[in-house]
Amino acid sequence: MMKHPTSSLLFVFCILALASGQIMAQQTQESLVFEVPTDARSAALGGVLMADLSNDLHAAAYNPTLLDSSDANMVALDYVNYYSSIGLISANYALKLKQGRMMQLGMRALNYGQFEGYDAAGNPQGTFPGSDLLGFVGWSHPIDSTWTVGLQVFTGSRSLSREVALWAGLEGFIQARWPEHRTAVGAGITGSGYQWGWKGTQPTGSLPFNVQWNFVKGFSNAPFVLFVKGNHMENWDLAPPGTYDDGIDPLTGGTIPNKTFRFGDQLMRHIALGTQINLGENGALYFGYDYRRRSEMAVAQRFGTNGLSIGCVYKVRDFQFRLCRNTYHFAGSSTHIGLTFNPRKFKGNLKG
């Protein structure tokens, strides 16, 4: 096994090189099972977490370096009411291995709801479902008291009536924590894999991946923690086509210069910010801001609360409850609900 942070960094860069090699290959459509965090806390803090000051079993479903021995035998359940009849569920279970290593088993499922089917002549053929399903196994390995590396393999499928595709992939992570400075940093490559068209006209090609990083900073005399997150670092320009084009005056036909600061806008589309306010041992509040979502979901320069998120967590005895509201558009918001518990203690309490 790797015994030095340099080897750990080399490991992650090898995963990155493997993922980068897919850029030249045909890419398939992105799935929400990779992009939308089911965890309420992660969603409220700006997205999937690559680093944290402490362990988090829910967030570990996307990054196994967030596992800790205290998570052993614990179960995390999450549900997201996204839009209309679209919903996501997630479950993962942590196991303790030797020498401080951890392992998790889990699944995520995305239900698109029911669709009306028609034949070539336009005759109704009843309804059919659409869904994406993912199973994963993750491992974390502490190199020393500061550095931890993680690896996660996944396999799954995408189906829409008779259209079926299969997935398989590999994700890599690295994290460093300095508890004395209340600081953590981390990076990872998620969603790196391949899709095989199995039935129908589903395409074959690489899955869109995401190079991410996190910087986390806590304070000695303040009850809050700051999170800065970077997304999709593999692609610098995330702006939709035409974002920086000049406009045309409909009356004069003259050119209206686009005054957008291009570099700053491109940079901020990668950035999400979050704040955790601690309310004691049993509770916390979370707030987040996503510049890219706020920019792209505006309607006629009306932004509203797009890109903003709020969440909370509260512990009652052996159960931890999580809730988040995440605004994507004027059309509505997503609701994230989470529950953590130890099934062995729960079983013991029932017997008692």
The CA distance from 118 to 137, in Å, is 39
Residue 332 pLDDT: 67
Residue 299 pLDDT: 63
344 in any annotated domain: yes
* In contact, 340 and 313? CB cutoff 8 Å: no
Give φ, ψ of 64 to 5 degrees.
Answer: -65, -10
Which residues make Cβ contacts (< 8 Å) with residue 7, sequence separation at least 6? 143
251 in any annotated domain: no
Closest of 240, 314, 312 to residue 281, by C-alpha:
314
Tally the domains of the chain.
1
Residue 43 pLDDT: 93
Write out residues in the chain with pLDDT < 50, as ranges: 1-3, 6, 22-24, 350
246 in any annotated domain: no
255 in any annotated domain: no
Residue 185 identity (one-letter amino acid): V
275 in any annotated domain: yes
Residue 11 pLDDT: 55
* In contact, 226 and 217? CB cutoff 8 Å: yes
- For 146, other C-beta atoms within 10 Å of its C-beta total 13
| CATH number (domain holding residue 294) | 2.40.160.60
Enclosing domain of residue 318: 5-116+125-226+269-351
Encode pLDDT of 237-290 as tens digits. 998 888 888 888 788 888 888 888 999 999 999 999 999 999 988 899 999 999
347 in any annotated domain: yes
234 in any annotated domain: no
* In contact, 39 and 336? CB cutoff 8 Å: yes
30 in any annotated domain: yes
pTM (predicted TM-score) = 0.84
Residue 3 pLDDT: 47
